[in-house]
Amino acid sequence: MRRAIFPGSFDPITLGHYDIIQRGIPLFDELVIAIGINAEKKYMFPLEKRLGFIKEAFQEEPKVKVMTYKGLTVDFCKKVGANYILRGLRNPGDFEFEKAIAHTNRKLSEIETVFLLTSSGKSYISSSIVRDVIRHGGDYTGLVPDTVRT
Protein backbone atom coordinates (compact mmCIF):
# COMPACT_ATOMS: atom_id res chain seq x y z
CA MET A 1 0.00 0.00 0.00
CA ARG A 2 1.29 3.45 -0.92
CA ARG A 3 0.48 5.55 2.14
CA ALA A 4 1.68 9.15 2.40
CA ILE A 5 1.34 11.82 5.00
CA PHE A 6 0.89 15.50 4.27
CA PRO A 7 2.14 17.19 7.45
CA GLY A 8 1.47 20.75 8.56
CA SER A 9 -0.16 22.92 11.15
CA PHE A 10 -3.00 23.90 8.78
CA ASP A 11 -3.74 27.08 10.74
CA PRO A 12 -5.95 27.26 8.70
CA ILE A 13 -5.99 24.95 5.69
CA THR A 14 -5.69 27.08 2.54
CA LEU A 15 -6.58 26.59 -1.11
CA GLY A 16 -2.88 25.93 -1.65
CA HIS A 17 -3.00 23.00 0.78
CA TYR A 18 -6.27 21.85 -0.78
CA ASP A 19 -4.67 21.92 -4.24
CA ILE A 20 -1.74 19.74 -3.14
CA ILE A 21 -4.05 17.28 -1.37
CA GLN A 22 -6.40 16.99 -4.36
CA ARG A 23 -3.49 16.39 -6.72
CA GLY A 24 -1.83 13.99 -4.29
CA ILE A 25 -4.88 11.74 -3.89
CA PRO A 26 -4.39 9.88 -7.20
CA LEU A 27 -0.72 9.24 -6.41
CA PHE A 28 -1.31 7.24 -3.23
CA ASP A 29 -3.63 4.55 -1.92
CA GLU A 30 -4.11 6.59 1.26
CA LEU A 31 -3.21 10.16 2.15
CA VAL A 32 -3.04 11.08 5.82
CA ILE A 33 -3.34 14.78 6.49
CA ALA A 34 -1.20 14.99 9.61
CA ILE A 35 -1.72 18.01 11.84
CA GLY A 36 1.42 18.53 13.87
CA ILE A 37 1.02 19.70 17.45
CA ASN A 38 3.70 22.02 18.75
CA ALA A 39 3.13 23.18 22.34
CA GLU A 40 5.43 26.17 21.79
CA LYS A 41 3.48 27.52 18.84
CA LYS A 42 0.51 29.87 19.20
CA TYR A 43 -2.29 28.95 16.83
CA MET A 44 -5.12 31.17 15.62
CA PHE A 45 -7.51 28.22 15.40
CA PRO A 46 -7.78 25.53 18.09
CA LEU A 47 -6.89 21.99 17.06
CA GLU A 48 -10.54 20.87 17.04
CA LYS A 49 -11.42 23.62 14.54
CA ARG A 50 -8.49 22.75 12.27
CA LEU A 51 -9.47 19.07 12.37
CA GLY A 52 -13.06 19.99 11.54
CA PHE A 53 -12.12 22.26 8.62
CA ILE A 54 -10.10 19.47 7.00
CA LYS A 55 -12.45 16.57 7.77
CA GLU A 56 -15.39 18.49 6.33
CA ALA A 57 -13.44 19.53 3.24
CA PHE A 58 -12.57 15.89 2.44
CA GLN A 59 -15.57 14.05 3.88
CA GLU A 60 -16.43 12.59 0.45
CA GLU A 61 -12.88 11.35 -0.21
CA PRO A 62 -12.34 7.85 1.25
CA LYS A 63 -8.59 7.88 0.56
CA VAL A 64 -8.04 10.86 2.89
CA LYS A 65 -7.59 10.40 6.63
CA VAL A 66 -6.97 13.21 9.12
CA MET A 67 -4.82 12.64 12.20
CA THR A 68 -2.77 14.60 14.70
CA TYR A 69 0.73 13.93 15.93
CA LYS A 70 3.49 15.20 18.18
CA GLY A 71 7.21 14.78 17.68
CA LEU A 72 9.19 13.94 14.59
CA THR A 73 7.31 13.52 11.34
CA VAL A 74 9.36 10.43 10.44
CA ASP A 75 8.36 8.80 13.73
CA PHE A 76 4.71 9.46 12.92
CA CYS A 77 5.26 7.98 9.45
CA LYS A 78 6.60 4.80 11.01
CA LYS A 79 3.69 4.68 13.46
CA VAL A 80 1.06 4.82 10.68
CA GLY A 81 3.04 2.83 8.11
CA ALA A 82 3.58 5.69 5.67
CA ASN A 83 6.46 5.39 3.22
CA TYR A 84 6.08 8.86 1.74
CA ILE A 85 5.82 12.46 2.87
CA LEU A 86 3.95 14.77 0.50
CA ARG A 87 5.00 18.42 0.46
CA GLY A 88 3.92 21.40 -1.61
CA LEU A 89 6.30 23.95 -3.06
CA ARG A 90 5.21 27.52 -3.76
CA ASN A 91 8.53 29.16 -4.60
CA PRO A 92 12.32 28.65 -4.66
CA GLY A 93 12.56 29.52 -0.95
CA ASP A 94 10.17 26.70 -0.12
CA PHE A 95 12.31 24.33 -2.17
CA GLU A 96 15.52 25.10 -0.29
CA PHE A 97 13.81 24.79 3.09
CA GLU A 98 11.95 21.60 2.18
CA LYS A 99 15.01 20.04 0.54
CA ALA A 100 16.96 20.31 3.81
CA ILE A 101 14.10 18.71 5.74
CA ALA A 102 13.74 15.94 3.13
CA HIS A 103 17.46 15.14 3.31
CA THR A 104 17.28 15.01 7.10
CA ASN A 105 14.19 12.78 7.04
CA ARG A 106 15.88 10.47 4.54
CA LYS A 107 18.95 10.28 6.80
CA LEU A 108 16.75 9.35 9.77
CA SER A 109 14.56 6.84 7.92
CA GLU A 110 13.75 5.19 4.61
CA ILE A 111 10.88 7.60 3.98
CA GLU A 112 10.82 9.41 0.64
CA THR A 113 9.56 12.96 0.21
CA VAL A 114 7.41 13.71 -2.83
CA PHE A 115 7.17 17.35 -3.90
CA LEU A 116 4.32 18.86 -5.88
CA LEU A 117 4.37 22.41 -7.18
CA THR A 118 1.37 24.42 -6.07
CA SER A 119 -0.81 25.47 -8.99
CA SER A 120 0.22 28.90 -10.24
CA GLY A 121 -3.02 30.59 -9.24
CA LYS A 122 -2.56 29.47 -5.64
CA SER A 123 1.18 29.77 -5.13
CA TYR A 124 0.92 33.12 -3.32
CA ILE A 125 -1.39 31.76 -0.59
CA SER A 126 0.03 30.85 2.82
CA SER A 127 -1.59 30.26 6.19
CA SER A 128 0.25 33.25 7.65
CA ILE A 129 -1.19 35.53 4.94
CA VAL A 130 -4.67 34.14 5.58
CA ARG A 131 -4.31 34.71 9.34
CA ASP A 132 -3.21 38.29 8.71
CA VAL A 133 -6.22 38.92 6.44
CA ILE A 134 -8.54 37.46 9.10
CA ARG A 135 -6.95 39.51 11.91
CA HIS A 136 -7.53 42.70 9.94
CA GLY A 137 -11.11 41.89 8.97
CA GLY A 138 -10.41 41.24 5.29
CA ASP A 139 -12.25 38.89 2.98
CA TYR A 140 -10.34 35.60 3.23
CA THR A 141 -12.98 33.43 1.55
CA GLY A 142 -11.10 33.28 -1.78
CA LEU A 143 -8.02 31.92 0.00
CA VAL A 144 -9.47 28.95 1.89
CA PRO A 145 -11.88 26.06 1.26
CA ASP A 146 -15.54 26.80 1.99
CA THR A 147 -15.28 24.73 5.19
CA VAL A 148 -13.10 27.40 6.84
CA ARG A 149 -15.36 29.79 8.67
CA THR A 150 -14.47 31.98 11.65
Q: Which of 140, 149, 135 is closest to 42 using CA atoms?
A: 135
Q: Which of 56, 58, 60, 5 is closest to 30 using CA atoms?
A: 5
Selected catalytic residue, list 3, 23, 41, 149 = 41
* Active site (annotated) includes residue 65: no
* Active site (annotated) includes residue 90: yes
Selected catalytic residue, list 106, 126, 127, 136 = 127
Q: Which of 116, 47, 56 is closest to 85 using CA atoms?
A: 116
Tell me if residue 139 falls in helix, strand or coil: coil
Selected catalytic residue, list 49, 50, 65, 90 = 90
* Active site (annotated) includes residue 41: yes
| Radius of gyration for the chain, computed over Cα atoms and rounded to the nearest angstrom | 15
Selected catalytic residue, list 9, 17, 63, 70 = 17
* Active site (annotated) includes residue 79: no
Residue 67 to residue 55: CA distance in whole angstroms = 10
Active site members: 17, 41, 90, 127
